[in-house]
Structure formats: C-alpha cells, structure tokens
C-alpha cells in the first residue's frame, strides 16, 4: 500500500491530523504517544523551531503505529531534509512549485496551503488533488470551502488554522474535506504540566465527534 493510500485510509477512519511541535524529543514522543493512545495515528510535526526535526525523528524512531509528516515546510531544501529524516508526508503553509515537483517526483504526499481560487487552480494544474486550506478560519471558513468545492470538483481539502472543537463538525460535514488539522489537541498548558492524559482525552473526544458526523 502506498503512503498516500495508507494516509487516506487512516484519515477516513479518524479525519483529524493533530499538530505537534516540541524541541525536546522526549516531549515530542510523549505527545505523539498520547495522541496515538487516543486513536489518532496521522500526525503533523510542525517545523517551527530549530529542534523540531529532532522531535520528529524521535517520534519516528520510538513510537510505533504512526504515520508522521512534517509541517510548516518552507523551502525545497527543508523538504529534502525532513524527507531524509523520515517524514512520510509534507505540509506547507503555501504553494511552492519546487516542493510540488520534488514531492511528486519522489512519490511523497504533499499538502500545500491554499486560500484563494487562484492557488487551488494552480495546485490542480501542477497535478495535485489534495491541498491544505489555510488559515481556514480567516480564509472564509466553511462558506469558502463550499464555493471551492462546487468549482474544483476533484479537489479535496484539509482545513487547518483556527479549527476548533466548535467548528470541527461544520468542516467535516463537507464531502470535499479529507480531514481537519489543528493544534487544539495538543494544548501547551497540558504539555507543560505533563498532563498527557488530557491530550489522549481530547483525541478521543474529537474522534467521537467526527464519527457522529460521518457515520
């Protein structure tokens, strides 16, 4: 089974991709374990700090049962680095042609950020059929995705940025939405306090809500 097919299969069962960001590899590992224990097995480790890739690599090495991708990838060089470090998919906040071509050539699932019709159309023209919709809450939310879906009928979206438990249901009710990404599942205060049970509980609650909508 290809990485893309496996990701799609897992997200069909639990359509939520939590964001993980930690410089400390041990914290990254414990956070990932808590998410896995709650039923979420596709996670995005965001490259927003100097130590983030080390955290991602620690998760890949030490936590079984996960598909781990790298997010906030800004350049082609960074994409190559995270893939060399074991990332199974790549996510960017915007659409960068060089990264698209690299990921397509290497058969690596890539989800670039889009927020306008022009960006979605360019992603389509480059050969992509799945994109990130970012920042979802500021880019028009559910109403914008409905408009995109009526025009770009083959495109599927992963809204991220401002998605919350309150808005999760509205996004997941759209057939064009693959999954929602979000950091509400990994709250900083819980991680700072070492309360990983809270992260597991949040994951379980999110899956329960998602399945009630997509039953």
Looking at the structure of the chain, the number of domains it has is: 1
pLDDT of the residue at 1: 73
In this structure, is residue 102 part of a structural domain?
yes
* Contact predicate 60/68, CB 8 Å: yes
User: Which tens digits make up the pLDDT trace of 2-28?
Assistant: 888 999 999 999 999 999 998 899 999
In this structure, is residue 165 part of a structural domain?
yes
Active-site annotation holds for 132: yes
In this structure, is residue 214 part of a structural domain?
no
Burial 63-77, CB ≥16 within 10 A → b, else e: beebbbbbbbbeebe
pLDDT of the residue at 62: 98
In this structure, is residue 121 part of a structural domain?
yes
In this structure, is residue 48 part of a structural domain?
yes
User: Which tens digits make up the pLDDT trace of 131-180?
Assistant: 999 999 999 999 999 999 999 999 999 999 999 999 999 999 999 999 99
Q: Which of 44, 57, 88, 130 is catalytic?
A: 44
Q: Which of 33, 57, 88, 132 is catalytic?
A: 132
Active-site annotation holds for 198: no
User: Which tens digits make up the pLDDT trace of 46-89?
Assistant: 999 999 999 999 999 999 999 999 999 999 999 999 999 999 99
In this structure, is residue 174 part of a structural domain?
yes
pLDDT of the residue at 214: 86
Tokens of 144: 């914008």
CATH number at residue 114: 3.20.20.70
Name the E strands within 75-207: 90-92, 110-114, 130-133, 156-159, 180-182
- Domain span holding position 94: 3-208
pLDDT band at 203 (very low <50, low <70, confident <90, very high): very high
In this structure, is residue 215 part of a structural domain?
no
* Contact predicate 45/69, CB 8 Å: yes
pLDDT band at 185 (very low <50, low <70, confident <90, very high): very high
């Amino acid at each position: 089974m290809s990485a893309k097919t496996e990701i799609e299969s897992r997200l069909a069962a639990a359509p939520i991709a939590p964001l993980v960001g930690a410089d400390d590899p041990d914290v990254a590992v414990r956070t990932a374990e808590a998410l896995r224990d709650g039923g979420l097995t596709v996670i995005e480790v965001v490259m927003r700090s100097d130590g983030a890739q080390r955290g991602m690599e620690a998760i890949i090495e030490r936590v079984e049962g996960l598909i781990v991708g790298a997010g906030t990838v800004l350049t082609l060089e960074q994409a190559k680095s995270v893939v060399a470090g074991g990332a199974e998919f790549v996510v960017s906040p915007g659409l960068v042609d060089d990264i698209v071509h690299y990921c397509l050539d290497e058969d690596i699932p890539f989800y670039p950020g889009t927020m306008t019709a022009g960006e979605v159309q360019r992603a389509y023209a480059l050969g992509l059929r799945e994109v990130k919709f970012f920042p979802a809450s500021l880019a028009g939310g559910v109403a914008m995705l409905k408009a995109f879906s009526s025009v770009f009928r083959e495109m599927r979206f992963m809204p991220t940025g401002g998605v919350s438990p309150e808005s999760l249901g509205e996004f997941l009710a759209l057939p064009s939405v693959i999954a929602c990404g979000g950091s509400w599942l990994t709250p900083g205060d819980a991680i700072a306090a070492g309360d990983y049970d809270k992260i597991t509980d949040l994951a379980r609650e999110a899956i329960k809500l998602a399945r009630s909508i997509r039953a």
